[in-house]
Structure 1
Amino acid sequence: MIGRLRGILVEKQPGQVLVEAAGLGYEVDIPYTTFFHLPETGQEVVLHTHFAVREDAHSLFGFANRLDRDLFRLLIKVNGVGPRLAVGILSGLDADQFIQCVEQRDASALVKLPGVGKKTAERLLIDMGDRIGQLEGQFVPRGTGAVNAGETPKRPPRQPDASEEAEAALIALGYKPQEATRAINRVAEEGMSREDLIRNALKAMIPTG
């Protein structure tokens, strides 16, 4: 089991990074909430990871903090929720937001996530309601200024620019990271707002009759 990865960030894009550690390059799938916490390429990065093994693929998933990783591990235990859907959920909601949805029984927020229908949302609320207690001591309400258990205080993450936010929004809508990146690059012009980027990218991605 690979539980933590520390190395140099070689490449990054919403959905995946390449990290070099001890001479090896690790391709790591990430939710876009983690993407916003990444340093610049060429700098050191630490990811909390989960190594998933299937008959047809071995995949490494990475997260900015241990809470997100541990929540991911609980999500994939829910019937019908695989690693890809779990990453999609954590791309639309960070761990704190997801836990608050479960505690408040807010199914409407969950069904807005790609791949989550009404039945899946209801199953998540039921199953995760019994399981989030396993995260006791890690979840910290917003605004307290505290950090996750086992974490050291860090500088505030770099704020994403409009293009990164637009790409993340497209991914949250269900588009593949590569599709979102290409669409934003096609329409991006200096000074464009996130909203204009998203609007123009969607027009470019949806063929007209």
Structure 2
Amino acid sequence: MIKTFITTAALALTSFTTQADGLQDLEKFLREVNSAQASFTQVVTSPKRTGETVARSKTSSGRFEFLRPNRFRFEYTQPFEQTIVADGQTLWLYDVDLNQVTARQQQEVLGSTPAALIAAGTDMRALSQAFELKAAPAHNGMEWLEARPRAQDGQLHSVRVGFRQGQLTALEIADSLGQRSVLTFSQWQGNAPLTAERFRFQVPVGADVIRP
């Protein structure tokens, strides 16, 4: 998930006022929403294998929270428990079934990821250094923008971000292997009263810790 989940020359300021609503929604989101919490559902679809008539997919769900800058938390509850926490310095991945924790330096893995777009980013200029950003046509009652990482050495191919009435509603993530992941958010609470303590990860007793 973290490879998926996980895992530009600066745009002139004048371009923001001439772009379609998706870019304007992102700019407003970065400026006005400093924290949030929501429920999410994620559907991951793999490319068809030889002989397959229907693409394979799997669905998971849980809770999502973030606090700018650089702190977020994904708690998967269905069908398996898994926690991903970024505390500002370290990215923690806890697999409950394996009782195993993987810890990575956050700055090394979050530069051009969906998390950088919605949780770590603080302004459009900074994001434009990591992504090519452009407006996309409105669809399903949402305004969209598309982001493509400028670096070509990662697995992420593109991210589409959907806003409804200025509220983050959906992420569509495509990787270089043809896998597609769609996250939809509900019960959204912007500027939730979250503190840095909420994103402090405590290694469970007895868990193995791996630091690649």
Question: TM class by shorter-chain length?
Answer: under 0.3
- Which structure has the highest helix share of the two? 1
TM-score norm. by structure 1 comes to 0.27
Higher strand share: 2
Higher relative contact order (CA 8 A, sep 6+): 2
TM-score calculated relative to the size of structure 2: 0.27
